[in-house]
Amino acid sequence: MFAKSPWMLVLACCLSWAGLAQALETQRWQTPQGAQVVFVPSRDNPLLDVRVDFDAGNRRDSASKPGVSDLTLSMLDAGTTRLSEEAIKTRLADLAAQLNGSSDIERAGVSLRVLSDPAQRDPALALLADMLAQPAFPPALLTREKAQMLASLRHADDDPADRGERALRRLMYGDHPYALAARMTPEAVQRIQRDDILRFWREHYTARRAVVSLVGDVSRADAERIADQLTARLPVSAQALAEIPPVNVAAQGQQQRLVHASTQTHLLLGVPVLRRDDPDYFPLLVGNYVLGGGGFDSRLMQEVRDKRGLTYGVSSHFSPMAQAGEFVIALSTRNEQADQALSVVQDTVRDFIAHGPSEAELTQAKQHIIGGFPLRLDSNLKLMGYVSMLGQYGLPDDWLNRYPERVAAVTLAQVRDAWKRRLSLPALNTVWVGPAPVASPS
């Protein structure tokens, strides 16, 4: 057997992806109502997955009432002008259909999974269309949903990791719309009224702000009809949404210590960095695998856990968005070791920014990223997440097909250059969540 060079291993990973990549046929169009549609036919199973997303994430909340976006989404299945909440649940069960809602900082939407047989598919789609176009927003159920949101806020305040994440986002984004969800308070939730939700739905759940994603066993003609059906009766709003401003990143990060009774201290470091269309996307992605995204192979795990036993786990990740999304490092450690663990993390990051990965680390990172990529697309549900992302951010149709190729093309010089230009240790914001500091024994 011939020995394989590192580059040949990366090439082999790319070739193993090629068959799947060629099978991904991305089709895109716009409905007469102005909705964007992304369709990937998949004939392997008699299923259809549909997702309708809107520019209605937390970033669209008002500063005085963060939480309206989440409540609007949560009440879409609470009844329509024709059907009660229980009637909707019964009808979905009769059709063996699954309905889910999801939201984040940038978008909110509803997904439906149903058999592709028209006997089940068509009534399920008609139900989804009614929920989107004719929600009732019953006042009694709004009271229930607000109570559940308040309970979630109390739980988040009791969870040190949640407290730390929210505090870090406030430090990173300040008064930027990306921080609105982290600024949600019980008082703000209590102020939300049904009129706020109705107004938010009318302004944001419009066809012109919708992305319809379809993956499954239907024809192009059926996909066009479905997209039209789901968007034809949505609200019409002539009011343009405000542009989301760029994120201002300070050269010097802030620090915050939150007192929380626990045997562990949670440490979080972060800074806004990466846009979804960023020219440094792939060099930063590959570099992060080496630094903290590669599990036990990462530098941070080796330095903080393996060599010093200061934590069970430490990781880093990028969350790209339309404007600069966060880069975050997170770990927890025993209280008396918190300062030492933080110092090791900072030293490791400082060294990585200055010198980058080794050639061997780069090769290993590319092998793992490329080799694992098909597993992210091995079901319609997994593929749906990427298909909807293409539509939301206007990424090119070949973005998925070229992903392994673009990872393989990343060079050591590109990684080192991108990390030196885009990351800075002083710019990292830092949050401690734990008891008051305890001096380490001498």
35-76 confidence digits (pLDDT tens): 999 999 998 899 999 999 999 999 999 999 999 999 999 999
- Determine contact, residues 78/194, Cβ cutoff 8 Å: no
Query: What pLDDT score does 438 carry?
Result: 53
Q: Which segments within 25-85 are labelled E, that is strand?
A: 27-30, 36-41, 47-54
- The share of the chain scoring above pLDDT 90, in percent, equals 89
Report pLDDT digits (tens) over 302-345: 999 999 999 999 999 999 999 999 999 999 999 999 999 999 99
Band of residue 436 on the pLDDT scale cut at 50, 70, 90: confident
- Stretch 93-98: mean pLDDT: 97
Query: Does position 279 have pLDDT exceeding 90, yes or no?
Result: yes
- The share of the chain scoring above pLDDT 70, in percent, equals 93
- Whose CA is closest to 57, among 132, 107, 111, 110? 107
Query: Does position 157 have pLDDT exceeding 50, yes or no?
Result: yes
Report the distance separating Cα 61 and Cα 64, nearest Å: 8
Query: What pLDDT score does 268 carry?
Result: 98
Residue with tokens 């927003």: 137
- Determine contact, residues 266/434, Cβ cutoff 8 Å: yes
Report the distance separating Cα 301 and Cα 311, nearest Å: 9
27-232 against 255-434: fold identical: yes
**CATH domain 27-232 topology:** Cytochrome Bc1 Complex; Chain A, domain 1 (3.30.830)
Query: What pLDDT score does 23 carry?
Result: 56
Report the distance separating Cα 295 and Cα 316, nearest Å: 9
Distances in Å between the alpha carbon of 171 and those of 62, 165, 184, 260, 347?
19, 10, 15, 18, 22
Band of residue 6 on the pLDDT scale cut at 50, 70, 90: very low
- Stretch 132-154: mean pLDDT: 96
Report pLDDT digits (tens) over 349-404: 999 999 999 999 999 999 999 999 988 888 888 999 999 999 999 999 999 999 99
Considering the four listed CATH numbers 3.40.50.300, 3.40.50.11540, 3.30.830.10, 3.40.50.150, the one that applies to the domain covering 255-434 is 3.30.830.10
Query: What pLDDT score does 237 carry?
Result: 81
Residue-range domain boundaries for the chain: 27-232, 255-434
Query: Does position 7 have pLDDT exceeding 80, yes or no?
Result: no
Report pLDDT digits (tens) over 284-302: 999 999 999 999 999 999 9
Q: What is the mean pLDDT of the chain?
A: 92
Whole-model pTM: value is 0.90
- What's at 38, amino acid-wise? V
Query: Does position 161 have pLDDT exceeding 50, yes or no?
Result: yes
Annotate 137-175 with three-state secondary structure.
CCHHHHHHHHHHHHHHHHHHHHCHHHHHHHHHHHHHHCC
Report pLDDT digits (tens) over 204-244: 999 999 999 999 999 999 999 999 999 999 998 878 899 99
Query: What pLDDT score does 65 carry?
Result: 96
- Determine contact, residues 435/261, Cβ cutoff 8 Å: yes
